[in-house]
């Protein structure tokens, strides 16, 4: 049995299926961990969703910002923009079933035995492990509630960029969503910058990649994340494992086999 990691499939179904073959992923014995952004930007979000749903017993998924965007568009909270490539999904007969399944997926996945944390974008340096678990659980409960459209309508907010236990519950949720699904850069005090998406090679201090800010659990866990294809060859601390190589932008899709850390790649096919 092996654990494979992949992230930011973004509807690139052809590349995804080829990569599964290249890596010799065995649906009977192996497990696939997907670090968010199953959908959006690429042309075949529906096929990706259907396939993952069909093998749900062999996968672990955490939600990314584009997955939340699909749920928000489906529920009428956000506009369906052309670049989403959601039209096919939104007209599919099984869309309700697939959205319910997507809403039931976690924001964070932890393997305590192997000391692995998987998240889409990142984790706040201002949190300890107890707070990380609490914040992710609050989001998951809200997404599964019957009133999830109201939650989504109120939660997207760039202004909540610093953690404080005295924040209102909704502002804590706003901050948590921003961290788990959107974080890239922080200031030295931990305050988020949610606008810069450039490679660290061209960004100057005081902006720092979130994983360069000392955290409260850094020696204990390996943290696997996606979301940031412009990292390219940025050297990151050993405990952090970025796996988004920008397939939907003409880059590559990556699968990492955990046991021997071997990487498999498939280039974008267009």
Beta carbons of 169 and 142 less than 8 angstroms apart? no
Beta carbons of 194 and 161 less than 8 angstroms apart? yes
Pick from 111, 109, 112: which is nearest to 123 by CA?
Answer: 109
Paired strand residues for 59 = 32
What pLDDT does residue 10 have? 98
Q: How many domains is the chain built from?
A: 1
- In this structure, how many other beta carbons lie within 10 angstroms of the beta carbon of residue 106? 18
Give me 147's structure tokens. 């009133």
Q: How far apart are CA 112 and CA 123, in angstroms?
A: 17
What pLDDT does residue 6 have? 98
Beta carbons of 243 and 229 less than 8 angstroms apart? no
Instruction: With H, G, I as helix, E, B as strand and everything else as coil, classify residue 179.
Output: helix
127-139: burial string, b at 16+ Cβ within 10 Å, e else? beeebbeebbeeb
Range of the domain at 219: 3-267
List the chain pLDDT tens, one digit each, 270 residues. 999 999 999 999 999 999 999 999 999 999 999 999 999 999 999 999 999 999 999 999 999 999 999 999 999 999 999 999 999 999 999 999 999 999 999 999 999 999 999 999 999 998 999 999 999 999 999 999 999 999 999 999 888 999 999 999 999 999 999 999 999 999 998 899 999 999 999 999 999 999 999 877 656 899 999 999 999 888 999 899 999 999 999 999 999 999 999 999 999 998
What pLDDT does residue 217 have? 64
What pLDDT does residue 220 have? 84
**Secondary element (H or E) of residue 168:** none
Give me 161's structure tokens. 């960029």
Paired strand residues for 61 = 34
Write the pLDDT tens digit of every residue in 113-151: 999 999 999 999 989 999 999 999 999 999 999 999 999
8-state DSSP, 116 = E
Beta carbons of 209 and 121 less than 8 angstroms apart? no
What pLDDT does residue 233 have? 80
105 CB-contact burial (10 Å; exposed 0-12 / middle 13-18 / buried 19+):
buried
- CATH number, domain of 54, equals 3.60.21.10
Given the structure tokens 């494992």, which residue do they identify? 241
Given the structure tokens 């052809």, which residue do they identify? 14
Residue 21, Cα to own-chain centre: how many angstroms? Answer: 23
Supply the pTM of this predicted model: 0.96
Instruction: With H, G, I as helix, E, B as strand and everything else as coil, classify residue 176.
Output: helix
Pick from 213, 68, 240, 212: which is nearest to 140 by CA?
Answer: 68
Q: How far apart are CA 242 and CA 255, in angstroms?
A: 11
25 CB-contact burial (10 Å; exposed 0-12 / middle 13-18 / buried 19+):
buried
């Amino acid at each position: 049995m092996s654990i494979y990691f992949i992230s930011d499939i973004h509807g690139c179904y052809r590349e995804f299926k080829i990569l599964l073959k290249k890596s010799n992923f065995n649906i009977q014995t192996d497990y696939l961990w997907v670090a968010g952004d199953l959908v959006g930007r690429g042309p075949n979000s529906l096929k990706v969703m259907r396939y993952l749903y069909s093998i749900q017993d062999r996968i672990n998924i955490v939600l990314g910002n584009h997955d939340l965007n699909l749920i928000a568009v489906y529920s009428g909270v956000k506009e369906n923009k052309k670049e989403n490539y959601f039209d096919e999904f939104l007209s599919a007969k099984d869309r309700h079933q697939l959205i319910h399944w997507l809403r039931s997926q976690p924001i964070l996945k932890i393997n305590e035995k192997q000391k692995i944390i998987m998240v889409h974008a990142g984790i706040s340096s201002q949190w300890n492990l107890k707070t990380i678990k609490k914040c992710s659980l609050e989001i998951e409960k809200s997404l599964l509630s019957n009133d999830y459209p109201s939650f989504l309508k109120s939660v997207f907010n760039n202004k909540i960029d610093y953690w404080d236990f005295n924040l209102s519950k909704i502002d804590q949720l706003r901050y948590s969503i921003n961290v788990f699904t959107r974080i890239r850069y922080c200031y030295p005090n931990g305050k988020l910058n949610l606008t810069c998406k450039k490679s660290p090679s061209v960004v100057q201090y005081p902006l720092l990649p979130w994983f360069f800010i000392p955290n409260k659990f850094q020696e204990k866990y390996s943290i696997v994340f996606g979301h940031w294809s412009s990292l390219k060859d940025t050297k990151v601390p050993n405990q952090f494992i970025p796996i988004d190589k920008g397939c939907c932008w003409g880059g590559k899709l990556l699968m990492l086999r955990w046991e021997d850390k071997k990487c498999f790649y498939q280039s974008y096919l267009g």
